[in-house]
Chain A
């Protein structure tokens, strides 16, 4: 058993965080289907699933013929009223018949793609992580379409609170009852990350939440790194990076909440991420640096004020 997925993470195009009521309104993309929300420890609002039919080649490594037919499920999540994610996933099942069935057969299995192939699930997983061609299943596009749709909604003022870069996290979750749960995160470039998760079959369906949570925290780390770089550039140019640092701290710090919404049985995966590369350690180092910078700059600003000699 195998799930393929891709998550897009971006800052909401709005000048400030949305209240939970407005977040629910924003993600009401299907009248008649409920929006789900939790308030604690931070507000997390989830849109209803949207399904999309597909019938195409699936990527495999090594390359083997594989045709997938079924539906892809995509949903949007808003965390802290400000961090928008869309997550597309397809659960892969091996088809019993070698020909396309009538549509109701697939429509009933929400988010399941039946695959006709001689490839093993590990080959399909690797194919999804490493090789997407023009004619293979494109979960990234499905995910991108939804996030684009939401960013354009009239409920938003389309002003960005902080200049940031969206990220993509492509993931696979394989079921293996004999192996220890494991996670491997690979940073491909500034935008793309690939993640391989192995969990017992009973926890496979919880993998998506873990990957969305991982994508959120990876985005926060990436963004705070960029903020530090930007601040350096601004300071080198002789300008004051304080406004940037202040707004970054104000917006981002409260979003750091690793594994808050992840199945407790999968928190072991987070523990692995904390051990290596040490997500929270990195985060805290950066935040401390920003706070130090702010403190130093505040002191310097005060020194420039008339009567600054209180410090001498």
Chain B
């Protein structure tokens, strides 16, 4: 509400207060596969879920111990990689996934689609998130040059300057990249957020933006934390219940961005998010953390979440990256080859 016009005259357009989303204490992501892994056999899926199971159990126990009321709300979720490969049958994949997870003691409450992180039921989430990017300025940034947001790259420091080939040959010209806010030494990361590609659509060349995996994963974490809203303050990618027994569509894109599989589940979004992932995703999550710490998020949403948590006597950090944690599991075949011979 704009207090200026309040005494005599107000208009809807001047008011904006984000709508709340329901929140669990903790959202646990129970593993991840590339689409190819889901297409070929069951061993790999079973192997991963068997390692995820005990982790999930531990997280539920930990959350119970930390919840003052003793009633922890923990929901589980799983992200389907249908953005880079959607040529599979949803019914077949979902049946296989939920069955094997169930055999390993894991209930998948919510199933989300990675393509839904680009466009969630008509809301361009990736574009909205890209517009929140607030790159860190190198020393000497006066505002006289516009930020290079069009490049599609984000880094956590200042890159090594590139001389021409003659200069590059000379060692004394080279200067190392520097991580902003480094601690003694730099870990410099340059992340490709998207690339534009030319496609032929109905005979005409059109430019399509392909979002990168770390960028969509960042959107995914924001959705799990209930931190995104559309232009009118409405929540985005809200879970939709898929009627029990109803047939699955033949195409992934005919499914909602987030599907509620377990009708009795606690809310999808949560104060904190924990991801149990194969260790091969470590670099992606590093990139996610850099992306998330360079976003100009809606302050009122952040304040609202913190206030609600406070009323429940839960502490939620202001910084979004501090609400995320990870457990990385070994995904190699050797470790799981003979599980039954395990002395336990």
Contact = CB atoms under 8 A, between A and B. Distances in A.
A32 B128 contact: yes
Given A33-B231, A103-B136, A52 B128 contact: no
Contact of A54 (B5, B143, B293, B318): B143
B127 interface: yes
Nearest to B9: A40
B307 interface: no
B137 A39 contact: no
A259 to B, nearest CB: 11
A53 B141 contact: yes
A56 B140 contact: yes
A31 B143 contact: no
Contacts of A28: 231
B2 to A, nearest CB: 8
B211 to A, nearest CB: 14
A55 B137 contact: yes
Given A40-B9, A88-B143, A34 B180 contact: no
Contacts of B246: none
Interface in A81-98: 88
A24 B140 CA distance: 35
Contacts of A37: 11, 13-14
B319 interface: yes
A30 B232 contact: no
B319 A104 contact: yes
Contact of A135 (B142, B145, B147, B233): B142
Interface stretch (A139-147, A235-243, A291-299): A139-147
Contacts of B296: 51, 107, 110
B76 to A, nearest CB: 28
A223 to B, nearest CB: 27
A152 to B, nearest CB: 13
Interface string B220-260: 00000000111111000000000000000000000000000
Contacts of B136: 53, 103
A103 B293 contact: yes
Contacts of B141: 53-56
Contacts of A107: 134, 293-296
B124 A135 contact: no
A312 interface: no
5 contacts: A37-B14, A53-B135, A134-B144, A137-B142, A141-B144
Interface of B: 2, 4-5, 9, 11, 13-14, 16, 124, 127-129, 131-132, 134-147, 180-181, 228-233, 293-296, 298-299, 318-319, 321
Interface of A: 24, 28, 30-40, 51-57, 69, 71-72, 88, 100-104, 107-108, 110, 134-139, 141-142, 145, 261-264
